[in-house]
Structure formats: C-alpha cells, structure tokens
Amino acid sequence: MNVDRKIQTLDEFTIQQLRDFPGATGELSHLLRNIGLAAKRVNVEVNKAGLVDILGDHGTINVQGEEVKKMDIFANDQFTGVLRHGIACAGIASEELDDFVAFDDPKSVNSKYVCLFDPLDGSSNIDVNVSIGTIFAVYRRVTPVGTVTKLEDYLQPGNQQVAAGYIVYGSSTMLVYATRRGVNGFTLDPSIGEFTLSHPDIKCPESGKIYSVNHGNFFQYPEKVRDYITVCQHKNKSNGGPYTQRYIGSMVADVHRNLIKGGIFMYPGTTDKPKGKLRLMYECNPFAFIMTIAGGRATNGEIPLLDVQPTELHQRSPFFVGSSSMMDELETYLNK
C-alpha cells in the first residue's frame, strides 16, 4: 500500500511545530509521542473488551472510594510505563494512584515536565460499548531539573499547563491536544497504526445549542444552576432556545462533541456532593485549558477554573465548560 503523503502523523506534526522554536529541546514532542503510544495500546484492549475477560470490576477500591475496573488498571499501567521509560517526564500523578510518582532514574530526573492523567475516564461505560477516554495535563516542573519531583510540581493552577489533551475511544479513536499555539485533533488510522492530523486548529463555535448535564441530579443543584438549566429548556429569542440536551456520561465524549459542535457541559455541586464529582487536576483543568485555547471558557461557578490554586491532588470541583456565549449566559445566572 502506498502511504498518502498528504497525511501528517502526530509525530511529524509535533516535530514540525518544533522547527518554529530553534531553542526547543523536543521533550514535549517526546512526551506526546509516548502518550500516543500508550493510547494505541489502550485502544487495542478497549476494542477487544467485549471479547476477552478483561471486563468487570477488579475488586479493589480506588482512592476516590470507587470500584476499579480492570481496564482502568491496564490503562494506568500503560500510561505510567511509557512515561517512566521515556525521556521527557519527571513524574506522574493519576486518578488511580493515591500519591504522585516521582521517577528517580537519571533520565527522568533530568526531564522538565510532569504529567497528570485520568487513564480511563467514564470506565463504567466500557461494559455497554459506549465511548470512554483518557485525559492528561502537562506542566513544567517548578523544582530544579536534576532532582526528584515534589508535590509542588503537581499542585500548580491550570493556567500553568504547557499542554493538555484527551483521547476518545469511540466510533473512531482520536487524540486531541492543546498547547498555547492551538488545538489539533488526530484520528487513529488503524491501517497504518498512526494518529493522523484530521482536525487542524480546532475552534469551539462561539455559541451552540447543546447543553450537557445529569438531569437526574436537577433538584440537588444550586438554585442559580437550576434557573439556567430551565432557560436552556425554554424558547428564547436571544439564544435560539430551547437547546438540545445530550449527556453520554463520559466527559471526554461529551466535551469533545461540544468542542466541535458548540455547547456547554456542566457538572455542578449537589446537596450531597457540594464540590461535585469531577477531579480538578486531571479531569477539569485539562478540558478548561483545551476549551480556552479553542476560544471557549471554563469556571468552577465562582472564578475561572484555570485560576484555582489546588491544595490536593485529588480534589473535586464543580465544573462548567463550553462555548463563550453560552458561558456568558450561564454566568448571568450564577452572578445573580
């Protein structure tokens, strides 16, 4: 088979971007390549999930007090493994691990980046063949290169992210990542086993018609959030409502769709869980960064999400993210 040279692989793309920065070391390209590699391995297993006995609860409870599926552990091992053995990552923090892992081999301590990730988000959807994903955030460490990383390297506000991205294992598998220069999406071409550039320079439409929220929790949401949701459901000349409600229950798939089509995704606090469900460091922050670079916005309901100073690796946060004009509309209610 002749490879069509119009295609651009993830590796080629990141290396080409480097050329614009003569002083760049290429570490970020390496790191993204490693993430792409782990994603391909996870993708193979996710696709086989219906065939082999890798489904089901692993029988342990993770640090969030939730049941862990086998695939969560497999994905965690893949991402941790490629980053540990690569040359671009000094340490990781994962939804599946209580504490961060500071790599202490000579290559890793000389790396300048740390990576935080949720290896398999929406994993309860695997059993029913619904899209799931991986989410990651990359920060430049604040401790000196040459030493092992410390907690302060991981507890940085989202506005310090160097890159963030996600992989959606769906009808096709896509890797989308953002740096300050833009957001680009790559679709896995299974025939050559490469992520290829399919969605260059993604911009989130300024407005949209989709709102995504768990309606089952409606009566547990703060009144201001309920008021906004009610507005979404009504005819409204100024915003072209009523909007369409779409909620998959896999944030990666829900926010990916809203990023491409325009929309708003919300996981507010509830009376039972005032801080909501989602984790700030490896679920909310990466999407807030991606959406902001793409022209949208994100808030925790009080301040821009990216400005939140984290205090714990696994802290939760209410989360609202989406098209800029829908976020404006939401905020008129939140600020009332």
250 binds ligand AHM (CB under 6 A): yes
Angle (CA) 336 277 50, round 5°: 135
Could you tell me which residues are beta bridge partners of residue 118?
A: 135
285 binds ligand AHM (CB under 6 A): no
Our CB check for ligand AHM shows the closer of 134 and 149 to be 134
User: What is the footprint of ligand AHM within residues 209-248 (CB under 6 A)?
Assistant: 214
What minimum distance in Å lies between the beta carbon of 279 and ligand AHM? Answer: 7
The binder of ligand AHM chosen from 12, 25, 47, 66 (CB under 6 A): 66
Which of 192, 193, 149 has the alpha carbon at shortest distance from 39?
193
Could you tell me which residues are beta bridge partners of residue 175?
A: 167, 186
67 binds ligand AHM (CB under 6 A): no
DSSP string, 155-199: ---GGGEEEEEEEEESSSEEEEEEETTEEEEEEEETTTTEEEEEE
57 binds ligand AHM (CB under 6 A): no
- Provide the mask over 233-252, with x wherever binding to Mg ion is found by CB under 5 A and - wherever it is not: --------------------
153 binds ligand AHM (CB under 6 A): no
Could you tell me which residues are beta bridge partners of residue 57?
A: 69
- Of Mg ion, ligand AHM, none, which one sits near residue 9, judging by CB under 5 to 8 A according to partner kind? none
Return the structure tokens found at 159: 């506005």
Our CB check for Mg ion shows the closer of 31 and 251 to be 251
109 binds ligand AHM (CB under 6 A): no
- Of Mg ion, ligand AHM, none, which one sits near residue 66, judging by CB under 5 to 8 A according to partner kind? ligand AHM
Question: What is the C-alpha separation between 141 and 68, in angstroms, rounded?
Answer: 29
> 306: which residues sit within 8 A by CB, 6+ positions away?
157, 158, 159, 161, 285, 288, 289, 292, 298
Question: What is the C-alpha separation between 99 and 150, in angstroms, rounded?
Answer: 11
258 binds ligand AHM (CB under 6 A): no
249 binds ligand AHM (CB under 6 A): yes
CA atoms within 13 A on the CB side of 172: 15
- Of Mg ion, ligand AHM, none, which one sits near residue 149, judging by CB under 5 to 8 A according to partner kind? none
Question: What is the C-alpha separation between 314 and 148, in angstroms, rounded?
Answer: 21
96 binds ligand AHM (CB under 6 A): no
Write out the E strands in the chain.
57-61, 67-69, 89-94, 101-102, 113-121, 132-140, 161-169, 173-179, 182-189, 194-199, 210-212, 244-245, 263-267, 297-299, 319-322
The binder of Mg ion chosen from 72, 118, 254, 329 (CB under 5 A): 118
How far are the Cα atoms of 16, 19, 23 from residue 8, in angstroms, in the given order? Answer: 10, 15, 23
72 binds Mg ion (CB under 5 A): no
- Of ligand AHM, Mg ion, none, which one sits near residue 108, judging by CB under 5 to 8 A according to partner kind? none
Q: Which stretch binds ligand AHM (CB under 6 A): 27-35, 44-52, 114-122, 180-188?
A: 114-122
What minimum distance in Å lies between the beta carbon of 135 and Mg ion? Answer: 7
Our CB check for ligand AHM shows the closer of 1 and 128 to be 128
Q: Which stretch binds Mg ion (CB under 5 A): 97-105, 116-124, 218-226, 303-311?
A: 116-124
Q: What DSSP state is assigned to residue 248?
A: -
User: Can you state the angle between helices 324-334 and 223-232, rounded to 10 degrees?
Assistant: 140
Our CB check for Mg ion shows the closer of 12 and 66 to be 66
The binder of Mg ion chosen from 45, 121, 153, 194 (CB under 5 A): 121
Interface contacts to ligand AHM, rule CB under 6 A: 66, 118, 121-123, 214, 249-251, 277
Question: Which residues form the interface with Mg ion (CB under 5 A)?
Answer: 118, 121
